[in-house]
Amino acid sequence: MKPTASPFALTRNGFGRLVLTDAEGLAHEGIVPVRAFGITAPDYGISLMSADGKELQWLETLDVLPADIRSLIVAELAQREFVPEIRRIVSVSSYATPSTWQVDTDRGTTALILKSEDDIRRLRGRDNAGALMIADSQGIHFLIRDRLALDAHSQKILKRFL
């Protein structure tokens, strides 16, 4: 797809907030880009929401946008997305919950507290059969993209909770 002229303008102001100027020339401050399918299809469907939660622009894909606007959106998304992906489970404090897990993630090592086994959810869908979503006690969601691709040690630990 070829980038086309966009029907809106997007800039970042001195307070670090995104400002969208729509076709009528109205400026909206504090734009929040949101992925519609954060886990299963991150690249399909991105919505630009106003600070008070109204959708201002629906973008099926970012590919059609001019490069500067796209990079602003991508940068803002990166600032908001926080789903550490677990690469390795180093150790767990106990096999009974609540249990503290020491994990290596793509964002560095950390500890998470699993309140109950119910907080581990299998993601359904065609492309992510082995994917798990783990909600820790703070409400952070950790992702295991493919539990069968983890190393044997991690898998063995994980099995005790599944």
Q: Is 66 in the site for other proteins (CB under 8 A)?
A: no
Please say whether the beta carbons of 129 and 122 come within 8 A. Answer: no
Q: How far apart are the first and last CA of the chain?
A: 43
* Encoded tokens for 107: 């964002």
**Closer by beta carbon to other proteins, 120 or else 150:** 120
CA distances from residue 150 to 23, 41, 67, 72 in whole angstroms, order as listed:
49, 22, 36, 34
Scanning residues 20 to 49, which ones bind other proteins (CB under 8 A)?
none
Q: Report which secondary-structure segment, H or E, holds 18.
A: strand 18-21
Q: Is 11 in the site for other proteins (CB under 8 A)?
A: no
State the Cα–Cα distance between residues 148 and 130, nearest whole angstrom.
6
- Give min distance, CB of 109 to other proteins, in A: 7
Q: Is 115 in the site for other proteins (CB under 8 A)?
A: yes
State the Cα–Cα distance between residues 33 and 30, nearest whole angstrom.
10
Scanning residues 73 to 92, which ones bind other proteins (CB under 8 A)?
78-84
- Where does this chain touch other proteins (CB under 8 A) — which range of 13-21, 66-74, 125-133, 145-153? 13-21
- Give min distance, CB of 150 to other proteins, in A: 18
Judged by the rule CB under 8 A, the positions of this chain that interact with other proteins are 4, 6-7, 13-16, 52, 55, 57-60, 64, 78-84, 93-100, 105, 107-110, 113, 115, 117-118, 137-141, 159-160, 162
